[in-house]
Chains A and B, each alone.
Chain A
Amino acid sequence: MATIQKRADEGVSDELTLVQQAKDGDLEAFSELVRRYDRNIFRIAQHITHNEEDAQDVVQDAFFKAYRNLEQFQGNSKFYTWLVRIAVNEALMKLRKRRNDRTVSIDEDVETDEGSMPREVADWSPNPEQLYGTSELGDILKKTIQGLPPGFRTVFVLRDIEGLSTEETAEMLGLSVPAVKSRLLRARLQLRERLAKYFKFKKDGDGQR
C-alpha cells in the first residue's frame, strides 16, 4: 500500500503551486495536473461505470469541471481529493443514466449478509494468479468486482486499489468513517467469497474449478 499511497501523494508540495498557477491562467500548469492524475481518474471511473466510453467522458468532464471551478478550490484538502470527489459524482451520474435513472447512490447502505459470515473456507492455491492467463485473470477480476453494489466497489477501489486512507475516502464520498469501514469490510469479504470459486485449492480428481 505504501507505494500506491506515495503515488497519490507525489509532489504535494508543488501541487498547490501548480493549482495557483492554473488559477492565474497558466494552462501548462493545469496540463501538468491532468497528466499527474488522469490514469487514476480513468481507473476510478471505469470501476464505477463499467463502461469505457462513459469512463472517457468522466475523465474529460471531471477535469474540465475542475478547471472551471478552480476558484472554489481553497486548498483545505488535497487537489487530488477534490478532483476525485468531482469524478465520483460524474461517474455516478453516468451510471444512473445507463440504468435509466434508477437510484444509484454511494450512501445507500445495501442490506446484504453476503460474505458477512464466510461460507467458503477452503484454502486457495499457493499462487492463484498463476492458474490463469493474464487476460483470463483480468476477466475474472472485472466480472467479480462488477457484481458488487456501487457503494461497496467504490469504497474498495478508493481504499484498496488507489491506496487512499479511510478518512480521505470518507471525505470524498461524503460518508462517515464508520460507514466507509463497514462497506470496505463487506466489499473485501464479498470479493473473497466470489473469487474463492476460481482460486481455491484443487485436489486431484476434485473436478471443481
Chain B
Amino acid sequence: MKCTEFLRELSDYLDGKITEDLQAELDEHLHWCRECHVVVNTTKKTIEIYRDNQIYELPTPLRNRLHEAIMTKCRHSKETKKDI
C-alpha cells in the first residue's frame, strides 16, 4: 500500500468505519511507515483539540438575552396570527 492510498482511507480509519481486511492492511502500512504514523496521530490530536477546547461558548448573560429576544418575537408572532 502506498502512502497516498493510506491517506485516502485516513478519515474512515480514524472514525473506525472500515472493514477488518482494510484495517489489517492499514495497520500493516502504519507498522513500517513513520510518516503516516505521525499523520494519523497528529490528525487524531487535531480533532481532539478542537473537540475538547470549545472556542465559541455562549456566555450565560448573552444566552438569556437571546432567549428573551427569541421568545418575545415568537409571542408577538403568535398574537398577530391570532388577530388575523
Q: List, in ascending order, chain B residues with CB within 8 A of A27's CB.
A: 71, 74-75, 78
Q: Is B47 an interface residue (CB 8 A)?
A: yes
Q: How many A-B residue pairs have CB under 8 A?
A: 122
List residues of B whose CB falls within 8 A of some A CB: 4, 7-8, 10-12, 14, 34-35, 38-39, 41-43, 45-47, 49-58, 62-63, 66-67, 69-71, 73-75, 77-78
Q: List, in ascending order, chain A residues with CB within 8 A of B50's CB.
A: 141, 145, 156, 160-161, 191
Which secondary structure characterizes the binding site on chain B? helix
Tell me the complex Cα distance, A67–B81, Å: 13
Q: Is A20 an interface residue (CB 8 A)?
A: no
Tell me the complex Cα distance, A161–B57, Å: 12
Tell me the complex Cα distance, A189–B38, Å: 12
List residues of A whose CB falls within 8 A of some B CB: 1, 4, 25, 27, 30-31, 34-35, 38-39, 42-43, 46-47, 55-56, 59-60, 63-64, 67-68, 116-118, 121-124, 128-129, 134, 137-138, 141-142, 145, 156, 160-161, 163, 181, 184-185, 188-189, 191-192, 195-196, 199
Nearest chain A CB to B61 CB, angstrom units: 12
A38 touches B49 (CB 8 A): no
A184 touches B11 (CB 8 A): yes
Q: List, in ascending order, chain B residues with CB within 8 A of A64's CB.
A: 70, 73-74, 77
11 additional A-B pairs beyond A43-B54, A43-B57, beta carbons within 8 Å, are A27-B71, A60-B66, A117-B7, A123-B41, A128-B45, A163-B51, A181-B11, A184-B11, A189-B43, A192-B42, A195-B42
Q: List, in ascending order, chain A residues with CB within 8 A of B52's CB.
A: 129
B35 touches A118 (CB 8 A): yes
Q: List, in ascending order, chain A residues with CB within 8 A of B56's CB.
A: 42-43, 46-47, 55
Q: A34-B70, A60-B70 are in contact. Are A4 and B51 (CB under 8 A)?
A: yes
B45 touches A161 (CB 8 A): no
Q: List, in ascending order, chain B residues with CB within 8 A of A46's CB.
A: 56
